Amino acid sequence: MQHWPIEVSDGDRIQDFMEGYASEDRMEHRSAIATLITSCLDHLFAQDEPIPGELFERIAAILAHHPQELGYWARGEEDSSLSWFSVTPWSDPWT
């Protein structure tokens, strides 16, 4: 199974994906876009890119509606930070 959100996400396009989320009515599509947004956020964290507070708050508001999507990114059973994603420390409290 390929992890398409990881394959197609691009931190530079996170605004585009957030606009797509806002205009989407179907919940299954919104969930998929939320996963894509999380992957974009992971890329930004990995690149140590600054994330403006207002943008971060908008992302958090979207992802608050999709805690199940964040489960993939959370620490889970892994104790080693070497196996975590860059977004893992942020996503753990949501799961």
Spatial separation of the C-alpha atoms in residues 85 and 38, rounded to whole Å: 11
pLDDT at 4 over 70: no
Closest CA to 76 of 86, 61, 88, 66: 88
Spatial separation of the C-alpha atoms in residues 23 and 95, rounded to whole Å: 26
Residue-range domain boundaries for the chain: 4-94
pLDDT at 95 over 50: no
Looking at residue 69, what is its pLDDT? 75
**What percentage of the chain exceeds 90 in pLDDT?**
24
pLDDT at 21 over 90: yes
User: For residue 85, which amino acid is it?
Assistant: F
Question: Whole-prediction pTM value?
Answer: 0.75
Q: How confident is the model at residue 1 (pLDDT cuts 50, 70, 90)?
A: very low
pLDDT at 78 over 90: no
Convert the pLDDT of each residue in 47-68 to its tens digit: 887 888 898 899 889 988 988 7
Spatial separation of the C-alpha atoms in residues 51 and 31, rounded to whole Å: 22
